[in-house]
Structure 1
Amino acid sequence: MAYVSSDRVLHTGFAGVFATAVASVKAAMERRAEFTRTLRELENLTDRDLADLGVHRSQIVDIARQSAGYK
């Protein structure tokens, strides 16, 4: 026997569209905060610390993007 579960809620009408838009903006803000936090932390490391992690300074932005879920 198979079961399917979904946490998605179907919103209809203006209230639903508004709720979906608010959730989308909130998710984007959280993603941006994660990007900024990771970027700041990596930029504050010394070149030696980055080398210990196997990271070159030119890779920091890409790593922060990946950490935040950007493609």
Structure 2
Amino acid sequence: MAYVTTNFPTAHVAGESRIAGMVADIRDAWTRRRVYRKTLNELQALSARELNDLGLNRSMLHQVAYEAAYGKAK
């Protein structure tokens, strides 16, 4: 007597879940990168006087844009 066990549906669902997770991670990274670039471009477009009013100088712009997109650096 022979027994056959098929696990394809479970493995297939797990694979789809993993792929969906990877796609979500890529989408999140893409969105954060867009926020970083947009913030940096907008800050770089400001004059020295406008940056001074915000309490910023040009050397801080990358850090400020990074924190806007990714949160505080550790």
In which range does the TM-score fall when normalised by the shorter chain? 0.7 to 0.9
Provide the TM-score with structure 1 as the length reference: 0.80
> Which 5+ residue runs of structure 2 have no aligned equivalent?
1-12
Moved over 6 A (4+): none
Q: Give, in whole Å, the separation in 1 of the partners of 2:14 and 2:21.
A: 11
Larger radius of gyration between Structure 1 and Structure 2: 2
Report the secondary structure of 2:46's partner residue: coil
Q: Amino acid of the residue matched to residue 33 of structure 1?
A: R
Among all aligned residue pairs of Structure 1 and Structure 2, give the percentage whose two residues are the same amino acid.
Answer: 33
Give the structure with the larger helix fraction.
2
- Partner residue in 1 for 2:27: 26
Over aligned residues, Cα RMSD in angstroms? 1.0
Provide the TM-score with structure 2 as the length reference: 0.77
> Which 5+ residue runs of structure 1 have no aligned equivalent?
1-11
